[in-house]
């Protein structure tokens, strides 16, 4: 495989960018080698600067659920670009996307748009504290909720990949109100609730995707809803990754729970920088200009980004790809397990809707500790094997693979063949 131009750009990028990237997982630190520089993408394929073509299972870490360059989305964006990029004033687009989002989430009466998942989450922390007049928050080890100070502890993929426990520059004071619980272990939450009467909110990824895909048990998620409700603690469900991905709306509906505050990002912006947080009326009433909790943004609700979001959600609704996602994810799971068996490799697979993860270990993965026990050296070999064979997956054992709605049967065959070839190389 020719990587000449990617290598040159990686060198060149080091001069004025930090590690030649604007987000650390892109640096390929955990898999070594040279990160790929991308040039263009169409449908299910992405092309690097050396002209190599891949089936894209990264999809910009989630947003490109329709594949790249969906015609309707492109048209909607171009139309808005012609009309103006940003006005610092309200537009009808915002009202339209807000209605689509609130209609899709049963527990949401009102929503505020921001510019990233991180921003949605940090606003939700402030909102939960404002509403409950309490200070502590609970998060689960291995869940990632963006890079705001208070939640940058035990935060999954990016950090696990870099092997740093938290982050330099986060003062102890910023995390002293953050309590860590274990995913799928309700007693670890009960213990905090018993010991602390100052908990504003519990934050959770409904399907974890940032320690690799990890699925909550029915009893865990149901009990979590019950005990938080009883204790007057808000349940903040972080659907930045899962929103509109496994169904139209949120994973919480599939799991049979309802959040007090829901956070969104990724798909809702259709590839543009959008985040959102929403809740029942009485909670959202706290937010300025209606209430005393301040939160603002120069580019929030940007009309171009809103146009991309609206058209993406419209397309998702009309394509309704969710059954197909399940079928294709199951095919990928079967291919992975068969190839592993063939080569005598220990492997377990987690999947939910259009999210899939192989973990290189024999036993099931239900929390971060178990995820960390897998053979990451083997993952690295497997990763490069897939790249060599034209399939682009995230450069980390701890990131979910994503499917898009335009994956064809031919793509599926190619993915299966690439898995077979890469698993041999991982032996
Ligand atoms: C990606 C992600 C975030 C952060 O969103 P950004 O847009 O990268 O700031 C937060 N929570 C979850 C679950 C995510 O997957």
How would you write the pLDDT of the chain (427 residues) with one tens digit per residue? 899 999 999 999 999 999 999 999 999 999 998 999 999 999 999 999 999 999 999 999 999 999 999 999 999 999 999 999 999 999 999 999 999 999 999 999 999 999 999 999 999 999 999 999 999 999 999 999 999 999 888 766 555 544 445 788 888 888 889 999 999 999 999 999 999 999 999 999 999 999 999 999 999 999 999 999 999 999 999 999 999 999 999 999 999 999 999 999 999 999 999 999 999 999 999 999 999 999 999 999 999 999 999 999 999 999 999 999 999 999 999 999 999 999 999 999 999 999 999 999 999 999 999 999 999 999 999 999 999 999 999 999 999 999 999 999 999 999 999 999 999 999 9
Q: What is the pLDDT of residue 155?
A: 66
Q: Which of 118, 270, 394 to mutate to test the pocket of ligand 1 (most atoms within 8 A of CB)?
A: 118
* Cα 65 to Cα 265: distance, rounded to the nearest angstrom: 13
* Cα 145 to Cα 210: distance, rounded to the nearest angstrom: 9
Q: What is the pLDDT of residue 311?
A: 98
Token output for 2 = 């020719």
Residues paired with 208 in a beta bridge: 214
Domain with CATH 3.40.640.10 in the chain: 71-318
Nearest residue (CA) to ligand 1, atom 15: 241
**DSSP secondary structure string for all residues of 272-339:** SS-EEEEE-HHHHTTBTTTSSB----TTTT-HHHHHHHHHHHHHHHHH-THHHHHHHHHHHHHHHHHH
Percentage helix, strand, coil, to 5, in the chain?
A: 45, 15, 40
Q: How far is the CA of 332 from the centre of ligand 1 (A)?
A: 25
Residues paired with 214 in a beta bridge: 208
Q: How far is the CA of 23 from the centre of ligand 1 (A)?
A: 12
Q: What is the pLDDT of residue 87?
A: 97
Beta-strand runs (E) in 28-166 = 38-42, 45-48, 53-56, 110-114, 136-140
Residues paired with 358 in a beta bridge: 349
Let me know: does 420 contact 391? Beta carbons within 8 Å: no
Residue 100 DSSP symbol: H
Q: Is 361 a catalytic residue?
A: no
Q: How far is the CA of 283 from the centre of ligand 1 (A)?
A: 22
Token output for 360 = 């290189």
Supply the pTM of this predicted model. 0.96
Domain 71-318: give its CATH code. Answer: 3.40.640.10
Domain with CATH 3.90.1150.10 in the chain: 4-65+321-425
* Cα 119 to Cα 129: distance, rounded to the nearest angstrom: 16
Q: Which CATH architecture has domain 4-65+321-425?
A: Alpha-Beta Complex (3.90)
Q: Is 144 a catalytic residue?
A: yes
Q: What is the pLDDT of residue 328?
A: 98
Q: What is the pLDDT of residue 198?
A: 97
Q: What is the pLDDT of residue 162?
A: 46
Q: What is the pLDDT of residue 159?
A: 54
Residue 388, Cα to own-chain centre: how many angstroms?
A: 26
Any long-range contacts for 80-87 (C-beta under 8 Å, 24+ apart)? 80/303, 80/304, 80/306, 80/307, 81/304, 83/303, 84/303, 85/302, 85/303, 85/304, 86/299, 86/302, 86/303, 86/304, 87/303
Which atom number of ligand 1 is nearest to the Cα of residue 143?
Answer: 13
Residue 398 DSSP symbol: T
Half-sphere exposure of residue 374, counting CA atoms within 13 Å on the CB side? 30
Q: Quick one: residue 235, left, alpha or beta (phi over 0 = left, psi -120 to 50 = alpha)?
A: beta
> Cβ < 6 Å from ligand 1: which residues?
116-118, 121, 144-146, 205, 209-210, 238, 240-241, 265, 275
């Amino acid at each position: 495989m020719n990587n000449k131009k990617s290598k040159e750009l990686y060198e060149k990028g080091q001069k004025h960018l930090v590690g030649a990237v604007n987000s650390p997982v892109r640096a390929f630190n955990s898999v070594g080698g040279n990160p790929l520089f991308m040039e263009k993408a169409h449908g299910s394929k992405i092309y690097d600067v050396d002209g190599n073509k891949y089936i894209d299972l990264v999809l910009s870490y989630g947003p490109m659920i329709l594949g790249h360059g969906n015609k309707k989305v492109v048209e909607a964006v171009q139309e808005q670009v012609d009309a103006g990029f940003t006005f610092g004033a309200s537009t009808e687009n915002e009202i339209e996307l807000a209605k689509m989002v609130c209609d899709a989430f049963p527990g949401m009466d009102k929503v505020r748009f921001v510019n990233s998942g991180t921003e949605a989450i940090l606003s939700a922390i402030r909102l939960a504290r404002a509403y409950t007049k309490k200070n502590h928050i609970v998060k689960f080890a291995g869940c990632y909720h963006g890079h705001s100070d208070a939640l940058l502890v035990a935060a999954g993929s990016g950090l696990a990949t870099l092997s740093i426990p938290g982050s330099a520059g986060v003062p102890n004071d910023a995390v002293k109100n953050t309590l860590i619980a274990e995913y799928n272990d309700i007693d670890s939450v009960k213990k905090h609730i018993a010991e602390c009467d100052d908990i504003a909110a519990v934050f959770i990824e409904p399907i974890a995707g940032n320690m690799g895909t990890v699925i909550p048990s029915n009893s865990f998620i149901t009990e979590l809803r019950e005990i938080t409700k009883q204790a007057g603690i808000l349940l903040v469900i972080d659907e930045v990754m899962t929103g509109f991905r496994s169904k139209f709306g949120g994973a919480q509906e599939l799991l049979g729970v309802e959040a007090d505050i829901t956070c969104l990002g990724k798909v809702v912006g259709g590839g543009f920088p959008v985040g959102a947080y929403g809740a029942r009326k009485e909670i959202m009433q706290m937010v300025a200009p209606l209430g005393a909790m301040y939160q603002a943004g120069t580019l929030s609700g940007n009309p171009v980004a809103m146009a991309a979001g609206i058209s993406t959600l419209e397309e998702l609704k009309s394509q309704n790809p969710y059954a197909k996602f399940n079928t294709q994810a199951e095919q990928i799971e079967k291919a992975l397990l068969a190839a592993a068996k063939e080569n005598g490799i220990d492997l377990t697979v987690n999947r939910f809707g259009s999210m899939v993860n192989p973990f290189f270990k024999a036993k099931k993965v239900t929390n971060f500790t178990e995820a960390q026990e897998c053979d990451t050296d083997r993952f690295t070999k497997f990763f490069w094997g897939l790249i060599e064979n034209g399939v682009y997956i995230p450069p980390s054992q701890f990131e979910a693979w994503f499917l898009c709605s335009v994956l064809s049967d031919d793509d599926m065959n190619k993915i299966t063949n690439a898995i077979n070839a890469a698993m041999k190389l991982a032996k």
